[in-house]
Amino acid sequence: MEKALKEITPKSEDFSQWYQDVVRKADLMDYAPMKGFMVIKPYAYRIWEFIQAELDARFRATGHQNAYFPLLIPQSLLQREAEHVEGFSPEVAWVTRGGEEELAEPLAIRPTSETIIGAMYSRWIQSYRDLPVLINQWANVVRWEKATRPFLRTTEFLWQEGHTVHRTAEEAQAETLQQLQIYRETLEGLLAIPVLAGVKSAGERFAGAVETYTLEALMSDGRALQAATSHFLGQNFARAFDIQFLDEDGTLKYGWTTSWGVSTRLIGGLIMVHGDDRGLRLPPRVAPIQVVVVPIARGGEREAVLAYCRQVLARIGAIARVHLDDRPEWTPGYKFNDWEMRGVPLRIEVGPRDLANQSVVVARRDLGQKTAVALSELPATIERLLAEVQAELFRQAQTYLRDHSYAIADLGELEAHGYRGFFWANWCGEESCADRLKELAGLTIRCLPLGSQPEPGQGCVVCHQPGRHRAVLARAY
């Protein structure tokens, strides 16, 4: 493992290769035989399960229910919402044969589910009494990406997608912002990833949406990651799929709809925000193993030390996800490196001296600090340290975000910051300037931060005409 550890490319040398090294050496995934597909291995899938559990509880608390809709969508159905189809058509995978027969109509493998869900909602909704409809789906989707990267952009990925219908525009808008807040609390509280909330520009908006709200996170290489989106769809999909209801006043009206989602790209974000040159650093709340116990003993001492290790497990098993690494074939040094690579928040080292003193040594993955702790004080100490590690990782990420956010008035200022970070600037609102921004600097308008106003006296960062919006610019994944 010591040799393998040295083979991790330093972040500062090649961030992309560092990321590839970590996802493989931490045993998070493997490449499938088909280009662009990956296998999510158990350690990473457990992280996804923690994210699922947190979000599912929050969705249920706000009145949402889970359902499941078909994977395959008829071509005619997908085309009923023209703007939606235009936005996704380059990425759609098609099924044209079933067994030995050519299909009468091609079936799309869902890139997202607005169309199939809209068709079903048009059957289910008749009256205002049927509203609101609050449904979430945990599913897989396929988007035929040209360039892929594990977790961040793969041909098939896992996600949740919420789809709701409301009686009024105000209710739908409130739903859209409520879900954005749920995502923010989950990202910051569970994953320890600070985010910037805003609305997408027209050019970056979800196909078919009236407004797209986003949470943008800053990775430790200075690039942005779109971590979550929540879409106010207005009546666009309701009109395309004839989602109508008879209101209390006897008038037939179209519903107001929303959709919102996050995906397994959050695991990629988790790696890039918190990882270091020794591998993962996992926030305790999503760590599959929160504490690993490593015995340090030889020969005749081994059984006594292992028995003491089991006492340690018994002490803290009720307050933490703990694992005893009693593999006899590996040295303690190998094990230390192995669990550091996997990002386990706390490591407990136990040797003959610790047994004699009725104590242990606790090492923190986030700061690398070691502390001797009496066995009697261990449960309270572990509980405290797990909370401290969670808070410390968030604090470090917040500091990085703050220190790499810059206010600029001219594109010439980008070079001084290496084009890395969040750049706050005035924007005139013209898509031609957004396109020019991509051409000149490779940056996109990540969002118009909620509650922000253009800086007085400054023009658009591209054309220098009057600035209508305050925008955050960045290079992005």
Residues 361 and 267 in one domain: no
Q: Over the stretch 310-328, which tens digit does the pLDDT of each residue have? A: 999 999 999 999 999 999 9
Once rounded to an integer, what is the mean pLDDT over residues 449-473? Answer: 97
Which pLDDT band, with edges at 50, 70 and 90, does 1 fall under? very low
274, 303, 325 - which closes a domain: 274
385, 420, 446 - which closes a domain: 385
Alpha helices in 410-457 (DSSP H): 431-441
Task: Give the lowest-confidence range in 87-96, 277-286, 387-396, 413-422.
Answer: 87-96
Q: Is residue 281 part of a domain?
A: no
Which pLDDT band, with edges at 50, 70 and 90, does 6 fall under? low
Q: Which domain holds residue 236?
A: 2-274
Q: Is residue 177 part of a domain?
A: yes
Q: What is the CATH number of the domain that holds 127?
A: 3.30.930.10
Residues 424 and 369 in one domain: no
Q: What predicted TM-score, i.e. pTM, was given to this entire model?
A: 0.95
3-state secondary structure of 444: strand
Q: Over the stretch 413-423, which tens digit does the pLDDT of each residue have? A: 999 999 999 99
Residues 242 and 312 in one domain: no
Contact indicator for 137, 113 with CB cutoff of 8 Å = yes
Residues 371 and 247 in one domain: no
**Geometric angle at alpha carbon 186, from 181 and 189, rounded to 5°:** 115
Residues 256 and 115 in one domain: yes
Bridge partners (DSSP) of residue 162 are 136, 260
Measure the CA–CA gap between 77 and 460, rounded to whole angstroms: 41
> For residue 267, which of 131, 167, 177, 157 has the smallest C-alpha distance?
157
Which pLDDT band, with edges at 50, 70 and 90, does 298 fall under? confident
Residues 266 and 295 in one domain: no
Residues 192 and 298 in one domain: no
Which pLDDT band, with edges at 50, 70 and 90, does 85 fall under? low
Once rounded to an integer, what is the mean pLDDT over residues 247-257? Answer: 98
DSSP string, 321-335: -EEE---TTS-HHHH
Residues 44 and 176 in one domain: yes
Measure the CA–CA gap between 197 and 184, rounded to whole angstroms: 8
State what percent of residues in the chain have pLDDT above 90: 94
Q: How many CA atoms lie within 13 A of 387 on its CB side?
A: 6
User: Token pair of 310, please?
Assistant: 């089991």
> Which residues, 6 or more positions from 463, have their beta carbon under 8 angstroms from its beta carbon?
428, 430, 433, 436
Measure the CA–CA gap between 199 and 226, rounded to whole angstroms: 12
> For residue 165, which of 194, 200, 127 has the smallest C-alpha distance?
127
**What pLDDT does 263 receive?**
98
Q: Is residue 394 part of a domain?
A: no
pLDDT at residue 2 above 50?
no
Contact indicator for 393, 386 with CB cutoff of 8 Å = no
Question: Does 132 sit behind a cis peptide bond, omega within 30 degrees of 0 on the bond before it?
Answer: yes
Q: Is residue 351 part of a domain?
A: yes
State what percent of residues in the chain have pLDDT above 70: 97
Amino acid identity, position 336: F
Q: Is residue 191 part of a domain?
A: yes
**Geometric angle at alpha carbon 326, from 323 and 327, rounded to 5°:** 120
User: First CA to last CA across the chain, in angstroms?
Assistant: 31
Q: Is residue 396 part of a domain?
A: no
Measure the CA–CA gap between 24 and 17, rounded to whole angstroms: 11
Residues 234 and 270 in one domain: yes
Mean pLDDT of the chain: 95
Measure the CA–CA gap between 188 and 415, rounded to whole angstroms: 30
Residues 64 and 160 in one domain: yes
327, 356, 385 - which closes a domain: 385
Residues 152 and 209 in one domain: yes
Q: Is residue 196 part of a domain?
A: yes
User: Token pair of 275, please?
Assistant: 């990882």
Q: Over the stretch 188-212, which tens digit does the pLDDT of each residue have? A: 999 999 999 999 999 999 988 999 9
- Decide: residue 249, CB within 10 A, 0-12 exposed, 13-18 middle, 19+ buried: exposed
Amino acid identity, position 394: F
Which pLDDT band, with edges at 50, 70 and 90, does 90 fall under? confident
Which pLDDT band, with edges at 50, 70 and 90, does 68 fall under? very high
Q: Over the stretch 164-178, which tens digit does the pLDDT of each residue have? A: 999 999 999 999 999
- Decide: residue 373, CB within 10 A, 0-12 exposed, 13-18 middle, 19+ buried: middle
> For residue 209, which of 183, 181, 237 has the smallest C-alpha distance?
237
Task: Give the lowest-confidence range in 80-84, 89-93, 347-351.
Answer: 80-84
Number of domains, the chain? 3
Q: How many CA atoms lie within 13 A of 410 on its CB side?
A: 3
Measure the CA–CA gap between 154 and 145, rounded to whole angstroms: 7
**What pLDDT does 86 receive?**
72
Once rounded to an integer, what is the mean pLDDT over residues 392-403? Answer: 98
pLDDT at residue 21 above 70?
yes
> Which residues, 6 or more positions from 36, have their beta carbon under 8 angstroms from its beta carbon?
144, 145, 148, 154, 155, 156
Contact indicator for 397, 194 with CB cutoff of 8 Å = yes
For residue 202, the 8-state DSSP code is G
Contact indicator for 151, 271 with CB cutoff of 8 Å = yes
